[in-house]
Amino acid sequence: MAAWSTRTAASTDRDQLIALLTDSCDTAVIPAPTLIDEAVASRWVRVAEREGTLVGCLVAEAPSPGHVRVAVIAVRSDSRRQGVAARLLSETVRACSGRADETPLVSVLADPRDVALSRLLLGCGFLGTRLLRSSGPGTAVHLHYQHKSRVAYLDPDARHLVPVGDQEQLAESLAPSDHAVTAVVPLGGGQAFEIARFEQDDPAALQSGEAAAGIAFAGSILAAITFLLGFAFTSTRFPDDVRLLLIGATFSTVLSLILYASASGELARIRSNSFGRIMKWGNVLSEYGGVLPFLISLPVTYAQASDNVWTTMVLALVLSAAVAWYERSEFSIAHRFDRSPAEVALTALTAVSPAVGSGLVATGATSWPWTIVLVFTLSARTWLYLFRRGAEAGIEERRQWRIR
């Protein structure tokens, strides 16, 4: 059987879309043709096709900039159980998460008795949060699913099962705001929803702690850079270009401290909508303007103070390897974003900078070209993450909730 592929629907797919929905869905859930046309024009329709024939589709709508509602997911009977629906849904969620302006809530309304749809949604990171009554045709109630974009923690001792057909008990179980459907499991020959209680975090307290940690870290880095800068000014052999690099690192770190303090001010004035953006600026400036220049300058300083070329190069190579490991680890800022070939090249230049700079200073060669390349590399990465990268790259996790 030929492989299938997915793409955004075009206006020329209208007839095939309507035919697919008519053949695969109940009449009550098929969107009106006007809604389909609007969704296609807004690029909220994704289709799966095999050899030019549509085998699946997902139709969504955006009633507001902060909310995307999936209206229907349809797959032809001969193409089911091949991951078509899961891929269409995952790609729609990923497209919403990658928006630079605002990450909207993605929700779906499902018949509680449609166990297959519930399994699909739960497997793609959705949670059933409440039961909604409907006056329209078909089922009297719908289970509201919403995608969990952030990791949350559930209480392992606060879970219970509710039979799929017991809508009254289901509504009662989902009444508290911290309860949600997390799974569909077999029970006594039938199916049941597993209801779990999630731990409630205090966002203001978490953000306040993050800002305090940023201030403490940037303050420590500033003290270390200031000490090294003082040593640079007392030595007549210290390269002028490295002095300028440390002065720039001092300025960038002080600026990051100001940004962290501004983030704390946003919390104090209960205007935390800007908190994430301000912290992003502080984190990027602190790492690429303060931490990395400081670390790269350490072996260069040792090369100036020591006459032993071998120990200088060993130290420089070890630090280069450590920087390269850090850049590839999950702790670095670079790990949070999708990496382009240009970014990989800039990362490599950053990693080899300690070895190159130390070698130039140890052999008495001119180090200005190295400093210029390093400043350009760090400036380019700063610009890349602040102005060219929007939301952080999605981490491929089927479930966005865990047991603490």
Q: What H or E segment, with its residue span, contains residue 316?
A: helix 309-328
Chain mean position to CA 174: 28
> Where are the chain's structural domains?
11-198, 203-388
The Cα 187–Cα 160 span in angstroms is 12
Tell me, what's the pLDDT at 172? 92
The Cα 224–Cα 43 span in angstroms is 51
What is the residue whose two structure tokens read 């500033």? 222
Q: Global pTM? A: 0.59
Strands lying side by side in the sheet with 5-8:
5-8, 45-50, 53-64, 67-75, 105-110, 141-147, 126-133, 179-187, 190-198, 152-163, 401-403
Burial environment of residue 399 by CB neighbours within 10 A (0 to 12, 13 to 18, 19 or more): middle
| 3-class DSSP state of 152 | strand
| 3-class DSSP state of 77 | helix
Per-residue pLDDT of the chain (404 residues; tens, 9 = 90+): 568 888 999 989 888 999 998 888 877 778 888 888 899 999 999 999 988 889 999 999 988 888 999 999 999 988 888 899 999 999 998 888 766 566 788 999 998 988 999 999 999 989 999 998 866 555 578 999 999 877 777 888 889 999 998 988 999 999 988 899 999 999 888 899 999 998 876 666 777 788 888 889 889 999 989 988 888 888 777 778 888 888 999 999 999 988 888 877 766 555 545 777 788 889 899 999 999 999 998 888 888 777 788 898 999 999 999 999 998 888 888 887 767 888 889 999 999 999 998 888 888 888 888 889 999 999 999 998 888 765 444 434 445 666 65
Q: Which CATH class is domain 11-198?
A: alpha beta
Instruction: Please write the tens of the pLDDT for every residue from 319-336.
Output: 999 999 998 888 888 887
Tokens of 265: 């001010």
What is the residue whose two structure tokens read 């946003």? 266
DSSP 259: H
